[in-house]
Amino acid sequence: MDTLERNLGELLERPDRPYNPFRKKLYTVEELMAGYSPTNPHGSLDSTIASYYNKEGGQVPKRVQEALAQRIHDNAIDRGLIRFVQNSGDNQRKMVGIMGGHSASRTEPNYIKVALIARQLTLEGYCIVSGGGPGVMEAANLGAYIAPYSLLALQDALTILAQAPTYGKDDSTKVAYIEAAGKVRNKYPKGGDSLSIPTWAYSDEPISQFPSQIGKYFANSIREDGLLGIGVFGVIFAPGAAGTMQEIFQDATHNSYWTFHSRSPMVFLDNTFYRASPSIYDVLLSRANRDGYADLVTIQDDPASIVQYILDHPPRLEHPQLSRTLGRTTTPYKLD
């Protein structure tokens, strides 16, 4: 621990704070779920931090020391995500984001399609990143998790998960939702890698049980933009509500203005949903035509076609000599 960190630690010291602002790595499912049991569903570290976060004022902490602690924590998550994406100096991971509704049932066709897409993209050498919650987000991490196993294993996992199709609002439904995921993890213990980026701003949502690494933030605004910044090799949008709409047009803004010195594919799943009047897809495509990236925008219903589109449409660099790493930076990060 350096002098600055030690001095800040003394300033921010608080015995009842359940998280370490100076953590050195991303979270895992095992760490965040520690203390959980079906009879004590609020006993996990994740729930303990959420309760503390809400007590301290949520998105606007009551005390400046707590605000500072949360910002330092989120910076540590930033750094952990950079290390994950850069993959310890080896080949940078080819990150593909999958966005969509948190309330999607595990039995819905689009949940199943997303799982199929994520599984195949993982087999093709891509790494999936999701928002880290239930619904479509879980389906994305599930597909990546089950990739080392056969397609029959995915079908079996979906059958197990269908026993608790939605996470609901009451504890009994949430417990059943988490327990079904636990059965899949126990039956197929050696899952593939993927990333999720949830937030304690949505403290009522359970985390996805299937990512290998979790970058959980306090600040949802940083988390939202980071999700899109990480999806260098494209973002797939399954049907969702207002949050997904925000992500669509935020991603479009990045493509329009070359925010990250590159442009990446935007893939829409479900013609019926995205072309319903008023058509979100048509509005987006109109802007993409004006700004010059319409060839990176598509809408598909078939999982195999979506996978092939990602394969055929790598990110486009603003300048040939630049290589996008993460966010605005175009040269590899050097972290101290």
pLDDT for 319: 84
- Residue 326's pLDDT is 63
Type of residue at 119 = R
pLDDT digits (tens, 9 = 90+) for 47-73: 999 999 999 999 999 999 999 999 999
For 42, the token pair is 């609020």
Is 299 inside a domain boundary? yes
97, containing H or E segment: strand 94-99
pLDDT at position 90 is: 62
CATH number of residue 117's parent domain: 3.40.50.450
**One-letter-per-residue 3-state SS of 202-262:** HCCCCCCCCCCEECCECCHHHHHHHHHHHCCCCEEECCCCHHHHHHHHHHHHHHHCCCCCE
Query: Domain limits at 233?
Result: 90-317
Any domain includes 185: yes
**What span, in angstroms and rounded, lies between the C-alpha atoms of 84 and 260?**
18
User: How far is the C-alpha of 97 from the C-alpha of 265, rounded, in Å?
Assistant: 10
Residue 324 is assigned to a structural domain of this protein: no
Residue 334 lies in a domain: no
Q: Is residue 3 part of a domain?
A: no
- pLDDT the model gives residue 320: 75
Does 335 map to a domain?
Answer: no
Residue position matching structure tokens 């504890």: 171
Using an 8 Å Cβ cutoff, are 239 and 269 in contact?
yes
Nearest to 199 by CA among 145, 137, 142: 137
Domain presence at residue 158:
yes
Cα atoms in the 13 Å half-sphere on the side-chain side of 226: 27
In this structure, is residue 68 part of a structural domain? no
* Binned average pLDDT, 10 residues per bin, the chain of 336 residues: 68 87 96 97 97 96 93 94 81 93 97 98 98 97 98 98 94 96 98 98 94 97 90 96 95 94 96 97 98 98 98 91 61 63
Helices marked H in 124-219: 136-145, 151-161, 171-187
How many domains is the chain built from?
1
